[in-house]
Amino acid sequence: MATDHSFPEEKPRRTLIIVVAVIAAVLIGGFFYLLLRTTSAPSAPVTLEAGIRAGSPEWDQYKSKILIDKPEATQSTTALGGFQMTLETTVRNFTGRTITGLEMRAAVLNGQQLAIKDRTMVVIPSRQPDLLPTKTMHVTITITGLKESDDRKGLFMDVTAFKLQ
């Protein structure tokens, strides 16, 4: 007594499974897209609010007392095939006052000493605590978007604004 197994519903079930799989893939892709979009880290503020800048009388008085060592850099390859450089320096506070805000600019220079890429960021208070008088602080700024063909000949880091207590 042999039983004959036939599956007359095979084709509609296969179509249903394919449709459900496509809908699930679209939903999962949309979920990851929204997740990656909303959880991206907010960038640090680019300018220091109410900071002392070049041209003010306090700038001339205190800028010469904020010393910066010669910057050094490391280079690494990004996942997309570009380069990024991490510039590092040490900042020394000889102003006699606590630095409560510090904005710095870092740049990668070409052979004519022009910036290929640069980045300005607020170091204090967003990344470091206040810098007390006669103390030092290590500053790191990463510059992305460089190409292997770029004429990278020099580094530049400088203070663009500061606040004192």
Q: How many Å apart are CA 49 and CA 139, to the nearest integer?
A: 20
Q: Are residues 35 and 72 in the same domain?
A: no
Q: Are residues 57 and 33 in the same domain?
A: no
DSSP code of 136? E
1-56 pLDDT, tens digit each = 556 665 555 677 888 899 999 999 999 998 888 777 755 555 555 788 888 999 99
Range of the domain at 150: 52-164
List b or e across 52-61, with b for residues whose CB sees 16 or more CB atoms inside 10 angstroms: bbeeeeebee
pTM for this predicted structure: 0.69
**Is residue 101 one of the residues assigned to a domain?**
yes
C-beta separation of 58 from 88 below 8 A: no
